[in-house]
Amino acid sequence: MVQVEVNKMRSDFTINITKTNQDLEALELKLIGYTDSETDTLKKSLSKKIDDATEQVKYEAERLRAEFELFKSKDHKELEARVTALE
């Protein structure tokens, strides 16, 4: 009688281990899918933010370049006026 109970407990334990391993494998696959999708979402979000920041920096650089060219042109005109006045 006791041997039957022991065998039943061993069988239940083995079944439980198998079921637990299957559950863990399923959970692992689900978590891999979740992390892959989250990583993809973050990658897209970061790429967009980097692209936006790059465009903003390009715009600002172009604005400053134009402002500098205007300053150079004004300064050059003022220098020409001085030279003309001194001649």
- d(CA 39, CA 28) in angstroms, rounded, equals 16
Q: Going residue by residue through the chain, which has 87 residues, state the pLDDT in tens, using 9 for 90 and above.
A: 788 888 888 888 888 999 999 999 999 999 999 999 999 999 999 999 999 999 999 999 999 999 998 888 887 778 777 777 777
Which ranges in 1-87 belong to alpha helices (H)?
Answer: 2-86
pTM for the structure as a whole: 0.56
Q: Is 1 helix (H, G, I), strand (E, B) or coil?
A: coil
Residue 32 confidence (pLDDT): 97
The candidate with the shortest Cα–Cα distance to 54, out of 43, 62, 65, 66, is 62
